[in-house]
Amino acid sequence: MEIQSVGVVGAGQMGSGIAHVFALAGFDVLMTDISQQALDKALATIERNMERQVSRGKISAEDKAAALGRIRTTQRLADLGQCDLIIEAATERETVKQAIFEDLVPHLKPETILTSNTSSISITRLASRTDRPEKFMGFHFMNPVPVMQLVELIRGIATSDETYQTLLKVVERLGKTAASAEDFPAFIVNRILMPMINEAVYTLYEGVGNVESIDRSLKLGANHPMGPLELADFIGLDTCLAIMNVLHEGLADTKYRPCPLLVKYVEAGWLGRKTGRGFYDYRGEVPVPTR
């Protein structure tokens, strides 16, 4: 199947990034969100990020204008029904994702492929709530989408090879690289990354080091571009906790138990950069460690 029109559900950080790369690659994009304010903010973010690419010589001003012209927005989920491919990029909560797919299904063309940008939730289980499990896949982009090269492709138990091959071609057209993962909790990237972040939080919780010393150790001692606590703030501590809970519940192994300090930060609403406070306080000119 030839994919030309793409529907993106959710206009947050991931949804806007996904719309950005698809529009630049020549796809027609229809982005939806329940909030018009979120849609307006997403368009402004996409324009700003494309302008940054223009200033760095990555794309031309003509490329930017053409790509922005290919993005439309709507608050009506049903409007996405005629798209060839739909990518759900809503909150990392299974009940929310299931409700979106159940609302979408009556409006879809028979050949439409459904995908989820979930970073950890079972693709097989999400697919089972639709009328087309063979045309359903995990399509997991990394944040920030315009910069990161990897896309995880996750097949559910019923996903057809035709669906997988179609999405493989889409990833190639985006100029990104695909990694195939089996449908187990958190797939590949987050199965390895999140326990590392959780262990860094335990290291802080147990007083082995403070925020600054933990991040400095991994940056200079393991050559990581960002420290694990800085990275957790960038991802969002609520997202980190949600993925750790999926790992803990899905694999029933105590090594995936979320650190109580991570839970405490999320309970406080200190979710990282997006709320102004996490393991660092971002409200001043320079981020300051909170522990």
pLDDT at 227 over 90: yes
Tens of pLDDT, residue by residue over 241-285, are 999 999 999 999 999 999 999 999 999 999 999 999 999 999 999
Catalytic residue check, 190: yes
* Percent of the chain whose predicted confidence (pLDDT) is above 70: 100
The whole-number pLDDT of residue 55 equals 97
Catalytic residue check, 49: no
Please give the structure tokens belonging to residue 200. Answer: 């860094």
DSSP 147: T
Delineate the domains of the chain, giving CATH numbers in brackets. Answer: 5-182 (3.40.50.720), 190-289 (1.10.1040.10)
Label each residue of 23-83 as H, E or C: HHCCCEEEEECCCHHHHHHHHHHHHHHHHHHHHCCCCCHHHHHHHHHCEEEECCHHHHHHC
Angle at 119 between CA 160 and CA 37, to 5 degrees: 110
The pairing of beta strand 150-155 with beta strand 177-181:
parallel
Catalytic residue check, 119: yes
Binned at pLDDT 50, 70 and 90, residue 1 comes out as confident
User: Which residue ranges are tagged as binding site for NAD(+)?
Assistant: 10-15, 33, 92, 97, 119, 143, 274
pLDDT at 92 over 90: no
Q: Which of 118-122, 192-196, 276-280 has the lowest mean pLDDT?
A: 118-122
User: Does the bond joining 144 to the residue before it have cis omega, within 30 degrees of 0?
Assistant: yes
The whole-number pLDDT of residue 80 equals 97
Binned at pLDDT 50, 70 and 90, residue 24 comes out as very high
